[in-house]
Structure 1
Amino acid sequence: MASLVAVSGIRTATADTVPAPVSAAKSETRYFEGDYKVSLNLYSFNVNLNAWLKGRKGAPPIDTLQAIRFAKEAGFDAVDVTAYYIPGYDNNTMPTKPRDEIMQYAREIKELCRELGLEISGTGAQNDFADPDDAVRALDVERLKFWIDVAAEMGAPVMRVFSGVVPNDIDQLGWETIARNRIVPPLRELADYGAARGVRIGLQNHGDMTATADQTIQILRWVDSPNIGIIDDTGYFRPFRSTTGLGYDWYRDIAKVLPYSNNFQVKKKPAGAENDVLMDLDRLFTDVRLSAYRGYIPLELLWTKDEPTNPKGLTEPPYDQISEFLGKARASLARTKTEPFEAIDQSMGRYAASGELRGPAYAQLRNASAQAQHHFEHGRVDESVRKLRIFVQRLDATNRPSEISDNAQQTLSQQANALIRSLTDVFGPQGSAAG
């Protein structure tokens, strides 16, 4: 892999540290048809867990071990045990309980997961490295080091951290100065500390100082450590300083950080919980399978306070909603296991057998599809996309009922256009690798 772009005054990442994506034009491309392990992020039970931890009213309580048992019963493969739900955690101070007591609880979590046959996909803690106060950032570093120790004790492979909210002096100093001078140094320190403890650091894009894929990747490059990656949060890519992702190409950003990702947060809504746009899971998971990502797929549900389905207004924790989302995710992962070119070929075969696709149209479409697949398998994604567009054009030009039915035409067009979108998501408009 080639070295990343040098930035004046900052160590530059090399092929031996932060992984850089490989150009599809220079390598073979493969589609992953295997299985991903699906994890439950316990933040999905946030109001219920806080009802237990903090005695908050308005939601039925559930404790962390109960939430883990539910994950097993629901059919998850793993859990993401956010540190918020370990007694003694505090967002702003060092732990409020003795170290030994917290470590004992971490061991209980680890042992319960072992007994249940669940894996621990990760954990996370809150921080704000963009805060102008040096003392606040220094305390956050020490806090996160403690919770990295807990992650190691618990057996969590990744510690999720944040960049920080956009500070009041952003207009005065600018994004780059704040990112390089405030955010990068503590992330580098934590990456080094985590490496010594066997815990990788995951920087989560969160609509703040890491609102876009480019911002998140740039910070990663400045940190320049092999022990830090990106938590690919599908619900928080948006224009910098925007309160919503509506109108933004979030699929492109989700795909763009895939070569750097060491974990995920899959949300129901890509533009933010306050909007009604739902994630196209088939497009998302096709993009993931086109990439080299082979890690966990953690799911996280969020609600706005006024939603009728908000757990605060329910008589029991949101078991049914979580199970429903898991079912949809598993169904999509199963659908997308079939390599897209093979899926198109299978559709053409079915329509040919039923007489809905025949004559010159069948031969021309099979030829265009085969050429597109050949180019893809040999790393020529731009040529593959071009051939797929020819495939769609021929579909549109074939209007003789004797050669193709409306149903066949519509289905094949949808399949081909979906593949074009995913190839463009992952490899860029011209077929070059994202990044």
Structure 2
Amino acid sequence: MSGLDRRRFLQTAALAAAAAVVPAGRLFAQQKPPLYQISLAQWSLHRTFFDKKADPMDFAKITKEQFGIDAVEYVNQFYKDKKHDDATLKELKQRADDAGVKSLLIMCDGEGQLGDADEKKRYQAVENHYRWVEWAKYLGCHSIRVNAASSGSYYEQIQRAADGLRKLAEFGATHGIGVIVENHGGLSSNGSWLASVMRTVDNPNCGTLPDFGNFRVAGPKIQYDRYQGVADLMPFAKGVSAKSHDFDDQGNETSTDYRKIMEIVLSFGYRGYVGIEYEGSTLPEAEGIQLTKKLLETVRTELS
């Protein structure tokens, strides 16, 4: 056998051996990405943290070790008194890195109305969010989640909210950080209204975070259809929030048909993270998180 023939023989034998070790079907399955990945929103543990049963600085570690999830969504309320403390920010990043957890976004509340009717207050609210954009950049997040709170008539609120969001999105773009809006009460829980705001903002750095459960427009009974609302918001989505409250004996969420709503999410080509946001009161938070995770995993397998 010549030297060239011998090399060809050895190469063929090596490829055959590799194929024998990893069957083609299994190799393809390993390479196929999941329909979506699962993250954990810090609000799922809000009672735990507010009651000081755990340190919010350990959120990433808890997420990985207790729930087997490797991506997190922070809530600014747990760090608000440390907003301008660089040491806290560095420590938070280090703990996430040590846990092998990816930081996705920061949910920001209590910084003023981005659609305030008073222009001066509106721009102050925009500036109040700047520091959280800096936090998000340092932590390695892709966005901050904000609210589109406003006042006035239906159309006045579209213009006012769009103005504040556009200015914040422009600032966020200078840091490579997106500004995403959640349906979170008032007119923002009206999917059609919030979609109109997004079209008025007309900035690719501004998008939405559709939440499965926040479609109460006014009072306990005035609800915007959650499935229509998610469909309204998905064209602008840079994240998805899987809200959960209660579960039946089969592990299904009692208010939201997760199969139906995830089919809507996926129909828009979304393949990013779906964040667990357990907000129920009848189960311990840890159990609610685990049930939501299991349901999302089951639906993902069924739809794959």
Same fold (TM over 0.5): yes
Shift of 1:198: 0.9
Which residue matches 2:22?
A: none
Greater Cα radius of gyration, structure 1 or 2: 1
Equivalent in 291, 295, 308 of residue 272 of structure 2:
295
Structure 1 segment 252-331 matched on structure 2, within 5 A: 252-268=228-244, 277-303=254-280, 307-309=281-283, 318-331=285-298
SS in 2 for 1:287: helix
- Rounded to whole Å, the distance in 1 between the matches of 2:155 and 2:80 is 37
- Rounded to whole Å, the distance in 1 between the matches of 2:221 and 2:101 is 35
Shift of 1:267: 0.6
Matching residue's letter, 1:199: I
- Rounded to whole Å, the distance in 1 between the matches of 2:186 and 2:176 is 28
Equivalent in 221, 225, 235 of residue 249 of structure 1:
225
Listed as ranges, the gaps of 5+ residues in structure 2 are 1-31, 247-252
- Rounded to whole Å, the distance in 2 between the matches of 1:243 and 1:176 is 24
Once the two structures are superposed, what CA deviation does each residue of 1:273-308 show, in whole Å capped at 9, x if it has no partner? xxx9421111122222222112210010113xxx44
Count of residues paired in the alignment: 264
- Rounded to whole Å, the distance in 2 between the matches of 1:175 and 1:71 is 40
Question: For the Cα contact (< 8 Å) 1:149–1:197, is it kept in 2?
Answer: yes
Which residue matches 1:81?
A: 74
Which residue matches 1:188?
A: 166
Moved over 6 A (4+): none
Structure 1 segment 135-146 matched on structure 2, within 5 A: 135-146=120-131
- Rounded to whole Å, the distance in 2 between the matches of 1:253 and 1:87 is 31
Listed as ranges, the gaps of 5+ residues in structure 1 are 1-31, 53-60, 90-94, 271-275, 312-317, 338-435
- Rounded to whole Å, the distance in 2 between the matches of 1:252 and 1:50 is 34
Matching residue's letter, 2:271: R
Structure 1 segment 329-348 matched on structure 2, within 5 A: 329-337=296-304
Shift of 1:138: 2.9
Percent identical: 23
**Greater per-residue strand proportion:** 2
Structure 1 segment 6-405 matched on structure 2, within 5 A: 34-52=34-52, 61-73=53-65, 74-88=67-81, 95=83, 99=84, 101=85, 103-126=86-109, 127-164=112-149, 167=151, 170=152, 174-180=153-159, 182-238=160-216, 240-244=217-221, 248-268=224-244, 277-303=254-280, 307-309=281-283, 318-337=285-304
Once the two structures are superposed, what CA deviation does each residue of 1:296-346 show, in whole Å capped at 9, x if it has no partner? 10010113xxx443x6xxxxxx22221222112212212221xxxxxxxxx
Shift of 1:87: 4.9
Shift of 1:109: 2.3
- Rounded to whole Å, the distance in 1 between the matches of 2:176 and 2:245 is 33
- Rounded to whole Å, the distance in 1 between the matches of 2:47 and 2:39 is 19
- Rounded to whole Å, the distance in 2 between the matches of 1:78 and 1:130 is 30
Which residue matches 1:387?
A: none
Matching residue's letter, 2:81: G
- Rounded to whole Å, the distance in 2 between the matches of 1:277 and 1:330 is 17
SS in 1 for 2:278: coil
- Rounded to whole Å, the distance in 2 between the matches of 1:37 and 1:175 is 36
Question: For the Cα contact (< 8 Å) 1:37–1:77, is it kept in 2?
Answer: no
- Rounded to whole Å, the distance in 2 between the matches of 1:323 and 1:269 is 12
- Rounded to whole Å, the distance in 1 between the matches of 2:240 and 2:81 is 26
RMSD: 2.4
- Rounded to whole Å, the distance in 2 between the matches of 1:287 and 1:252 is 9
Shift of 1:208: 1.4
Which residue matches 1:358?
A: none
Once the two structures are superposed, what CA deviation does each residue of 1:337-381 show, in whole Å capped at 9, x if it has no partner? 1xxxxxxxxxxxxxxxxxxxxxxxxxxxxxxxxxxxxxxxxxxxx
